[in-house]
Structure 1
Amino acid sequence: MSREAFHQLLQRYLDGNCTSEEKKIVEQWYGLLDKNDLPEVPEESFNEIEQRLWDKVKPESEFVERRAEKKVVRSMWIRISVAAAVVLVTLVAGLLTRYQNEEPEFLAENALSNLGEKINHTDHRIAVLLEDGSRVVLKPKASISYPRHFSARKREVILKGEAFFDVSKNPGRPFLVFNDDVIIRVVGTSFTVKPGRGFRKTEVLVSSGKVIVTEKPTRKSFARLFNLEDKVELTPNQKATFDPSDGHLEVGLVDDPVPLISPENGSRQSVSFIFNESPISSVLDELEKVYGVKIVTRNDAMKHCTFTGDLSGQDLYSKLEFICQSIKASYEIKGVTIYIEGKGCN
């Protein structure tokens, strides 16, 4: 078995294109990964794991090929699978343990007397104030579990249902929110978590600051091991959506973007949106600055257009509709970018 054939086998498995026999061999390796006495190893890239795995498999492969070049193909695969499994288990067991079993540390570290829980049994929103000054607003039927005293390294909570978080800033102690599908990591910010149920999608919507969202690790697939860093970083007026049907996170704009919070006074920016024969580029620049979104014109001729009007009191998308109508253009949203398209002006 050549190195190229070995690489192609792993790649076919990850792509879902291997035969049933090849799949069985690879999954025999994976089936050994649940042993509890395996040592942890440092995180390594897939290429390094594959190289070290091949260094172990190659001599065994050559031995088998010399003994059975023409007839004992099945025996070769058995020997290779056993040799490869030993190295593969050693290299990746630590990674699986670290990422697939990621749960709040306070569940294991704290006595029951230090655990707190709040469930909203009412028909209206209720606020929960945590030890660090962070504020959580629970919707009806939502609940939050937390340690009454956070650790010195990080702050962790478990959320069931929908809630709004206003997290106190502390760069040295990141704040983590765990729900059924995702893990949200922040330092100091405000955001909303909308849970998915069944085939509904989980959403994380950011109001201020910066949020990192990762899919909650599971033990569903060997292929998931090589996609550990699947994460998205969100800024205000952006949202992450986790789709349980394909296990992916998508980033987009929230349904109703609002002006950013001013760092000077901590309140929403209040800007006059009155324009008089203003270049369209200046109008769009103002929207970008106020809402923290990226707006791109697809036709250079649009720089000759001007806009006159009062857009005060309208939401972002209404403003864009008004502008586009005035210059005979249209807009579309792709990801976190707004594109303006039109013939432009003379």
Structure 2
Amino acid sequence: MAVESIHGRGAPANNTSTRFNLKERVVEGDWLDSVEQLDGVMKRRTTVTVERPKTILTRNSSPDIGFDRSVNPYRGCEHGCIYCFARPTHAYHDLSPGVDFESRLFAKPDAAKLLHATLSRPGYEVAPIALGTNTDPYQPIEEEWRITRSILELLLETKHPFTITTKSNRVLRDLDVIAAAARMGLAAVAISITSLDPKVHTTLEPRAPAPRKRLAAVKALIDAGVPTVVAIAPVVPQITDHEIEAIVAAAAEAGARGAFWLPVRLPHEVAPLFRQWLDRHYPERAAKVMATIQALRGGRDNDPSFFTRMRGQGPWADLIRTRFEIASRRHGLAPAKFPLRRDRFEPPQGDQLRLL
């Protein structure tokens, strides 16, 4: 039988989970370990399944997150970032947070229609909607599905504030909509840049656009009048932390209005996947990397506690924070916070989307 190659993917394999009765993937798990020795190896192709949720606006009450609502057009992400904290969500679908997360994707084509219904409800209270908080709204399949575009068109139509977080220059495809919203004080964008080193980039986040393209996107957004910041997210100690000053300098040169950083998080299945990735790409320093991460996380692979999960703890966290703050002051980068207007909102008119 043909076996799918995982060449070019971020995760080294499909891991297994028992948290949601995830079935063990005996064929993929065992056979992929020796894939080069097999005949009939074929490229693992990305598949997209249509998802029809009943609602699209996700609410959260986390005290350490600066938004209370978000929209995610897709589940899974083809960028393949090994550190992605959203990987465990694929276990809900009886799929692996490993390679499945990068190649078995879900799209929500009714997202704008569902959001239209939510914004039309009497008594709806306006607050910025965050896009890109779970999986990237500008991963490659957006070019075909254009779900993010349809959401932004609705938000512009209703003059609703929004933020976008992405690690893709594909955001520029919607620059017309984003810039129009920004002129009304309704939009801000964060571009994630983890490393400037092409070798690190191609292993850490193999299918995300190159860092130079993201920096060019920062400049284009700024030139169009869109408040844009750079997110050094995540910082991976012993792998990318030495680049903090260089990334801050590059962000300032591109014109970014601000910057922030987040330490790597390894919840649930992400931790064993990350360890496998280290063994494959950085075997000589794998133990050192994990020891430093655990020093940041109170002796564990992951710290889920509010506040410390977003900033780490201990001497390593203090050192990274100090270096970032010094670099930001040196290059004149402000804290990455931009108030967005809520007073312009106009509820949708009628039952249909005007711009779709």
Using structure 1 for the length normalisation, give the TM-score: 0.25
Q: Is the radius of gyration larger for structure 1 or structure 2?
A: 1
- Greater percentage in strand: 1
Using structure 2 for the length normalisation, give the TM-score: 0.25
> Relative CO higher for 1 or 2, CA cutoff 8 Å, sep ≥ 6?
2
